[in-house]
Structure 1
Amino acid sequence: MLLENLALFLRIVRHGSMAAAGREAGLSPATVSERLAMLEAHYGTRLLTRTTRALSLTEEGRALAEGAPNLLSEAEELETRLREGVSRVAGPVRISAPSDLGRNRISQLLDGFLARHPAVSVDLHLSDGYIDLAAQGIDVAIRYGDLADSSMMVRALAPSARIACAAPAYLDRHGVPERPEDLTTHNCLMMRFRGEVDRAWPFIVDGKPRTLLLTGDRIANDGAVVRDWCIKGHGIARKAEWDIAEDIRAGRLIPLLRAFEVPPLRLQAIYPKGRAQVRRIKLLLDALVAEFATG
């Protein structure tokens, strides 16, 4: 019953509502309340603060929300191994990836991975914004940049520059910028990250860092939309190298100002501690490393 109650607790956290969690699990409100009370009694502490308007996690509840997905996954993996044998790779994997990279590369990698391991299922979440891995039950997240959360583990995949780029049609109409400051006269296509518009584009000019505040007529919080605008010739974008590598090879986009780029970010796989011990997760991490090693 403890594992079932943990799963119900994570549903409550994910939905922010006991009623919604109960509907998803097919349980009455009274049963949800009873099982939450059993879980709190088991751990000897309150996990949620409940008001008439909202639920919020206590410190103990937050710690349980971070650790419970590991407990459930490990229990599920153990059951699978006992029932089906240690040689078989089986069970669900929840993955989070940036929108462009997820559509253009990760989804294809997963096709091959599932063909090799047909007893595995995947749940792919595409987002360019912040994701709470523990609350969402994510097993592996693929992200650009350094890791901020020290509770997570990392497998480095590849360096990834952010490249200014534009479609040939746009450059034919408006000219090719020769230096970063030339961008101030161009229409720049912007990304929004965590509510902030990425207007400040960094460069290295004459050996020194320089940041330009740029403007444009289009902003989106989805990298795939910005890429599409760029390919259609609406302006200049600054995109991660892995997002547009195929577009550059195909001539749909032209890289710009490469001599002025700042050092590349890291593309990496992030996962909760202990998840790499689960066989299907380890094999997926190995497949990701191999995929990006090929270029």
Structure 2
Amino acid sequence: MKIENISDLHVLVQTARCGSLSGAASVLGMTPAAASAAMKRLETQLGTRLFERSTRALRITSQGQILLDYAQRAFDLLDEGESQVSEARTALVGTIRVAAPSDLTRTTLLPWLDEFLALHPGVQLALNVGDRPLDVVRDEVDVALRYGTLTDSRLVARLLCDNRPVLCAAPSYLARHPAPTSPQDLIQHNCLIFERNGRLHKTWRFAQQGKWKEVRVSGDRSADDASLARMWAVAGAGVIFKSLIDVRQELEDGKLVALLTDWETDPYPLHALLPSGRFVPNRVRALVEFLGRKFGDSCKKSQLK
């Protein structure tokens, strides 16, 4: 038997997102009883259970996951069709959901996003800022800016900027502590630690002539917001190992001094990530192209390699 009511698929999708029928009902503006009836109707029509129910939670079944994947693709396709029809007639419109690291947003992105919105007044921005990376597919992010190499096969990546971390400290800190001459000296320094892709980054790597050294660092403070670590470093609290994009201005202004400059560090590229199975609206494509140009110009000026 075929699915008779497409709105029942909306109940399926929202139940999977919310983890409960009551949550789905709230999002869809219907009663929990109506949401439950829609789910039962869908299961009856398909002749299979879509969720395993317990007193505490709902767990989607393997068959339910298959239908969910196709339903999400179908709704994305409809949204893209509506968007293309609308955008073919008018300027870019609609919301772009962007996720980005905290320090990158504050040091670099904000004025560029303001410029993009000024160029496209029909676009709205929903910005999620944080150093714990969102699940681009599950959390329905249109584009995520993320450092590091791509490991999720569900995503496609556009390289925005080649980049490496740089070791640095404020002149006020270096006036009190001799500058390190080798990575091993960092054991004697107060190192400012922050989360990198959701985990505290305590192992710092350096290389000379192809030989790598790892140093397990420590310090009197750590943060889940990398911008706080940068502010501590500028205030003279310790040594920081940070993306050159994020500390470029402080280095140019003399607020921070680069250290161990004769040592190589790991590549730490910046990508724009998009879900591979989702159609990309014109407004999202336009933003990615805009950021690509901006980062391209900025990285060339900074001679990032």
Q: TM-score, normalised by structure 1?
A: 0.88
- The residue that corresponds to 2:224 in the other structure is 221
Q: Matched residue of 2:168: which SS?
A: strand
2:40 is the counterpart of 1:34: no
RMSD: 2.7
How many angstroms apart in 1 are the aligned matches of 2:252 and 2:8?
A: 51
Cα deviation, residue 162, structure 1: 0.9
Residue of structure 1 aligned with 2:110, choices 104, 107, 111: 107
Given residue 173 of structure 1, which amino acid in structure 2 is its aligned partner? R
Q: Using the TM superposition, give the Cα deviation of residue 261 of structure 1 relative to its aligned residue in structure 2, in angstroms.
A: 2.5
Secondary structure in structure 1 of the residue aligned to 2:111: helix
- Preserved CA contact (<8 Å) 1:94 1:138: yes
Alignment partners' CA distance in 2, 1:112 and 1:240:
24
Matching of residue 170 in structure 1 with residue 173 in structure 2? yes
Matched with 1:289 is 292
Amino acid at match of 2:75: L
- Separation of aligned partners in 1, 2:275 and 2:46: 22
Question: 2:265 matched to 1:262?
Answer: yes
Structure 2 distance, partners of 1:250, 1:63, is 54
The aligned residue for residue 123 of structure 2 is 120
Q: Deviations over 1:16-68 (max 9, x none)?
A: 33323333433221122233445556766544333221233334544566665
Closer, same or farther: CA 108–35 of 1 in aligned 2, 3 Å: farther
Q: Secondary structure at the match of 1:157?
A: strand
Stretch of structure 1 that moved more, 61-70 or 225-234: 61-70
Q: Report if the CA contact (8 A) 2:166-2:265 is conserved.
A: no
Query: CA separation of 1:233/1:18 partners in 2, compared to 1, >3 Å: closer, same or farther?
Result: farther
**In the alignment, is the contact (CA less than 8 A) between 2:117 and 2:123 conserved in 1?**
yes
Structure 2 residue matching 1:165: 3-state secondary structure? strand
Of 71-80 and 257-266, more deviation after overlay is shown by 71-80
The alpha-carbon distance between structure 1 residues 84 and 183, as it changes in their structure 2 partners (threshold 3 A), is: closer
1:163 positional shift: 1.2
Corresponding residue number in structure 1 for 2:254: 251
Native 8 Å contact 2:87 2:282 kept in 1: no
Asked whether the 8 Å contact 2:84–2:281 carries over to 1, the reply is: no
Native 8 Å contact 2:155 2:275 kept in 1: yes
Deviation of residue 284 (structure 1)? Answer: 1.1
Residue in structure 1 matched with residue 85 of structure 2 by the alignment: 82
Q: Return the index of the structure with the highest Cα Rg.
A: 2
TM-score, structure 2 as length reference: 0.85
Q: 1:146-202 deviations in whole A, cap 9, x for unaligned?
A: 111112111111111111121221111212112211111100111234664321111
Aligned to 2:182: 179
Q: How many residues align?
A: 295
Q: Percent identity?
A: 35
Return the offset for 1:13: 3.5
Q: In 2, are the aligned partners of 1:77 and 1:91 still within 8 Å (CA)?
A: no
Superposition deviation, residue 100 in structure 1: 0.8
Which residue of structure 2 aligns with residue 16 of structure 1? 19
Q: 1:245 to 1:7 in 2, by over 3 A?
A: farther
CA distance in 1, matches of 2:193, 2:152: 26
Structure 1 unaligned regions, length at least 5: none
What runs of 5+ residues in structure 2 fail to find an aligned partner?
299-305
Is this contact kept in 1: 2:181–2:260, CA < 8 A?
yes
Structure-2 change in CA distance of 1:66 and 1:131 (3 Å): farther
Note if contact 2:190-2:218 (Cα within 8 Å) is conserved in structure 1: yes
Determine the structure 1 residue equivalent to 2:301.
none
Is 1:132 the counterpart of 2:163? The answer is no
2:274 aligned residue = 271
> Is contact 2:93-2:283 (8 Å) kept?
yes
Once the two structures are superposed, residues 66-94 of structure 1 have per-residue CA deviations (whole angstroms, 9 ceiling, x without a partner) of: 66555434422322443564443111111
C-alpha distance in 2, partners of 1:204/1:142?
A: 27
Q: Residues 195, 246 of structure 1: CA spacing in aligned structure 2 closer, same or farther, 3 A cutoff?
A: closer
2:87 is the alignment partner of 1:52:
no
Gap change, CA 1:210 and 1:66, over 3 Å in 2: farther
The question of whether the paired residues in 1 share the 8 Å contact of 2:206 and 2:266 is answered with no
Shift of 1:5: 4.8
Letter in 2 for 1:118: P
